[in-house]
Amino acid sequence: MHRVRSVLIPTSFIIITAFVLLFFQVAHSSSGRKWKKPSSDAPIFQGSAPQDILTRGTLRVGLTPGYLPFEVPTPTGELIGFDVELATEITNAMNVKLELVSLEWEDLIQSLISNRIDIILTGMEITEERKQTISFVPYFIMGESVLIRSKDSAKIKTYNDLNNERYSVAFVKGYYYSEQLAKTKLPNAKLVPYSDIHECANAMGSQLVDALIANYASNSIVMLKLAPEPHTILPDLLTENTLGIGYRKNDSELGIWLTTYITKIKQDGTFNKIEYKWFKDPTWFQSFFYTLTQ
């Protein structure tokens, strides 16, 4: 599955994004390293990261801006989003500085292999093809999802409940996963194709349809856009795709560190707080687009 980018970003902002991308370039190579495995009960992980990162004092994180809510530049050039905040948490735990390296999507893996960056953290799906070249630490489950109005949640608990002619379900025409899932999973519902996710969001907001099939990130942004009217993403995804933090295959120490740390913050609730902030709380979204219009 290919990730969907520039979700609900106005045309004017796409121009701003392209301009901001010109400002991010970095090149560096890493050397050999010593590594101390963090203890499982350690309250923090400072001092336990691979030695070359500690010596340099920075973690170079490669990402491709423009994928809400994972990473997107503000008009001032600041990068914000779920992945950016997660990267900040990682570098705080390492006690090093964060260096965000903005790259074209097609250049990410080669930049990692050539030591321009230390990790890729940008909503990248783990695939067998990519695993032949780099290694991954799984961190997020994505997939096709169903968005409904919260007031309907008592009668629509799963997507199967929508498989009825009295329900209208929107999807983006031509987007293979959503369209095929709508046709195969909900053959009895009234399926309503729209040209893009913007039109789908407007249809939901105008109550022209009862539900929307789209990937989890897109539905999250639609949900934030339609606030304060409450909407709900059904808990069961129609498909599941695992996103991963990419690292070099010979960087096994870093892979172990990241695996241990991601496990820790998922257990202590830190990860869930970051996810809630960027996928479910409309505060940042409303502030972000208010700034764009000033």
Question: How would DSSP label each residue in 226-290?
Answer: TTTS-EEE-SS-SS-EEEEEEE-TT-HHHHHHHHHHHHHHHHSSHHHHHHHHHHT-THHHHHHHH
Q: Where are the domains of the chain?
A: 11-29+41-140+244-292, 144-233
CATH fourth-level superfamily of 144-233: Periplasmic binding protein-like II (3.40.190.10)
Q: Output the pLDDT for position 45.
A: 53
Sequence-separated (6 or more) residues with CB below 8 Å from residue 109: 120, 130, 133, 134, 246
- Average pLDDT on 165-179 reads 92
Assess whether pLDDT exceeds 90 at residue 61: yes
Q: Output the pLDDT for position 38.
A: 37
Tell me the CA distances in angstroms from 77 to 68, 88, 173, 290, one per residue in order: 15, 17, 33, 16
Higher pLDDT among residues 142 and 23, named by residue? 142
The pLDDT > 90 percentage for the chain reads 76
Helix (H) or strand (E) holding 168: strand 168-172
Assess whether pLDDT exceeds 90 at residue 207: yes
Which CATH code fits 11-29+41-140+244-292?
A: 3.40.190.10
- pLDDT tens-digit series, residues 238-291: 999 999 999 999 999 999 999 999 999 999 999 999 999 999 999 999 888 755
User: Which tokens in the block code for residue 244?
Assistant: 């991963």
- How many CB atoms sit inside 10 A of residue 57's CB? 11
Q: Output the pLDDT for position 286.
A: 87
Pairing of strands 168-172, 119-120: unpaired
Paired with 80 in beta bridges are 72
Q: Output the pLDDT for position 249.
A: 95
- Average pLDDT on 135-153 reads 97
Paired with 61 in beta bridges are 100, 119
Q: Output the pLDDT for position 175.
A: 87
Domains 11-29+41-140+244-292 and 144-233 agree in fold: yes
Going by pLDDT thresholds of 50, 70 and 90, the confidence category of residue 50 is confident
CB 183 within 8 A of CB 166: no
Order of strands across the sheet with 168-172? Answer: 190-194, 168-172, 211-215, 144-149, 231-233
CB 81 within 8 A of CB 72: yes
What DSSP assignment string belongs to 27-39? ----------PPP
Mean pLDDT estimate for the chain: 85
State the Cα torsion 257-261-263-264 to the nearest 10°: 140
- How many CB atoms sit inside 10 A of residue 157's CB? 13
d(CA 286, CA 290): 6
User: Which tokens in the block code for residue 46?
Assistant: 């400072």
d(CA 258, CA 262): 6
**Amino acid (one-letter) located at 59:** L
Q: How far is CA 287 from the centre of its chain?
A: 19
User: Which tokens in the block code for residue 119?
Assistant: 């990790």
Higher pLDDT among residues 136 and 176, named by residue? 136
